[in-house]
Each structure stands twice: as C-alpha cells, then as structure tokens.
Structure 1
C-alpha cells in the first residue's frame, strides 16, 4: 500500500481496540540506515503522545534484545509490529500491512519469533544478494520519510495530533 493508505489501516485497528491497550513494537537498530526505520518511527510515535512504544532511538528493539523486549509487553496488549524490509524494485517506498504477525529480520536470514497481532513492513530498499550491505547503504532520507509517514498515519488513524 502507499503511504496515503496507511491511516485507514490504523483507523481499522483503532475502531477495534482502545489506544491504551495498543503497544507499538518498532523493530530495528540505529546502527544501520535501512534498519533505523523502527527506532525512528518509535521516537516519532512518542512525540505524538502514544504511551506504549517499544523501540526508539535511545532504546532500540533489535535482534539482540527482541525476545526480552517482547516479554515486557503486557499480555493483554494488542501489538502492532513495525519493521523495515527489502523488496522488489516496484515495491520500493511502499508498505505491507497485515492483520497478522510480522517475521522480523527475514530479509537478512535471521530466525526470530514472529511478533504482533498486526504488522507493518516498510520496503526501504531493493532486495539483492547482499541484504546486510543494502541495509547499510539505504538512503537515510528515504527511511526518515517513511518513518514519518507511519507515525503521521498512526496519529491520524487514532485521532491524535502533535
């Protein structure tokens, strides 16, 4: 889906769940431009006043701490998992949104647990033979723009303004 369709995805979730029981799980690290989407998005969500956000620039949720961070989310919370991914050239800059768990780090070959009741994957770059290198060299501007689009859409969907 395109960025302008994201708010309807979040609106659907907001119609079914109260925001106080929503946790945004923003996966990624600030040590790789392509993978910084999660922490950038998490930090922007906090600026909008969302109170349950896991994974921000000061405190990323990455492959090393994902399982521990998931364990800290209250069992009754609805989790919206957000992560960067690589995809085909025609999907660059688009988003995959689903009413199902997200499989983090799949594009780089790691095996982490599926997470979330809902998932949003941002296609930040083109999949190729060297996914780690691709994520390292992904343009920061694209990642920052997509993180802002996600946070803005979440705020619109849940009726929040900055």
Structure 2
C-alpha cells in the first residue's frame, strides 16, 4: 500500500467510471512498456485487508489468462507482500534476465482521487501509506487509489469497499490483457517467420491426442 498526494507529468490517470478506461490504460501501457524486454508484473498486497487486496486481485485475474508477453507474481493464493517482497524480487531477478518490472499496488490519497488508477514511470514505495520501510520497486507502476489517507490508515484499509477494489482490479487486468494482445501482434508483424516457426515447434511437442483435439477445433 503506497501513498500519493501529488501527480506529475510522468504519470497518466484514468478513472474506473470511464467507459473506455481499460482501452485507454492499455494504450498508455504500450506507449511506455519496452517492446523487446522481458516484462514482469509484480502485484503487491495482501488478501487479509480489503483495501490492500487490489494488487493480488489483479494478479489472480491475470493468472487465469494465457498471457504471453508478461510474467505475473503476486496473487490471492500466493501474495507478494511486506514479509516476502525482498526475497521475491531476488527470485524475479534470478528467473528473468534483467527484467522490466511493472509494479501494481493499492494506494491512499486525496478523497477526490479515489477511484483513479495512476500509471507512472519509475518506482513506487510499497508500505509507505502505513509507514513501512520497504525497498522501492518497479520501472513502471500502477497505483489504484482505493481510499483516503491522513488518519488511521489501517482502519481505512479494513473499511474500504470491496466493490470499488474489485471493479478497479477487473478493469486494470482487462487493460493488461489488451496490452498483451497488442504486444503479441506487434511481435508477429516484426518477425512473422520466427513467430510461425515457434508455433510449429510448439505443435510438435504435443502428444497425438492433443494434436487430434487441436485439429478438430
């Protein structure tokens, strides 16, 4: 859970009430995400707090999709939180070569900002809303403004409406899925022969029953 009371020119903001929020956010993501780097999505938070469940909810929703250009860490089942963040970041760096990290976390801010989703360049500071000293994370970040800051943040998080968090998480997950589709399309256009060869190689790895099922579709 991070804290945001100011906005900069290095940020893009959308609101969950906007009908085209997911489409707009996906366009921003594809403008800023490097097309040829391995992208890791770090969904930070915990299912033990309604307000802080935004990140893991996004992670679980993405984990159910067949994403091909993103690697997801942090779900409701296996959350990425204050107690394991440093260790999990080390794991990310071991499993992926110089990954580009998109960090996703819930955020507290001004009352007028609740319901907004902010895409920003650079790191975010998880735990800052609760005065926790955790290492900054991310080359790019998404902050979901779930409630207001300034007084009894622990209580505020526990009393955040789940409906708001769920709606926000669903729209952010949809935006990332749209971005994944566009990134796949761009890669295919850039190297159609390589993409076709990779798909053919994948087919040769299927067993006969799987091949028959694939052909019948």
Indicate whether the TM-score tops 0.5. yes
- Equivalent residue for 1:30? 47
Q: How many aligned positions are there?
A: 159
TM-score w.r.t. structure 2 length?
Answer: 0.69
Distance 2:97 2:123 in 1: 15
Distance 1:110 1:120 in 2: 19
| 4+ residue runs over 4 A deviation | none
Tell me by how many angstroms 1:34 deviates. 0.4
Alignment gaps of 5+ in structure 2 = 1-12, 16-20, 183-217
Report the secondary structure of 1:72's partner residue. Answer: helix
* Residue 12 (structure 1) aligned to one of 28, 31, 53: 31
Distance 1:2 1:133 in 2: 26
1:40–1:56 contact (8 Å) kept in structure 2: yes
Distance 2:115 2:157 in 1: 14
Could you say which structure has the higher helix fraction? 2
Q: Which moved more, 1:30-39 or 1:1-10?
A: 1-10
Tell me by how many angstroms 1:156 deviates. 1.1
Report the secondary structure of 1:124's partner residue. Answer: strand
- Equivalent residue for 1:111? 133
TM-score w.r.t. structure 1 length?
Answer: 0.91
For the aligned residues, what is the CA RMSD?
1.7
Structure with more contact order per residue of length (Cα contacts < 8 Å, sep ≥ 6): 1
1:128–1:134 contact (8 Å) kept in structure 2: no
Distance 1:131 1:107 in 2: 7
Alignment gaps of 5+ in structure 1 = none
- Equivalent residue for 1:63? 82
1:9–1:157 contact (8 Å) kept in structure 2: no
* Residue 168 (structure 2) aligned to one of 146, 150, 153: 146
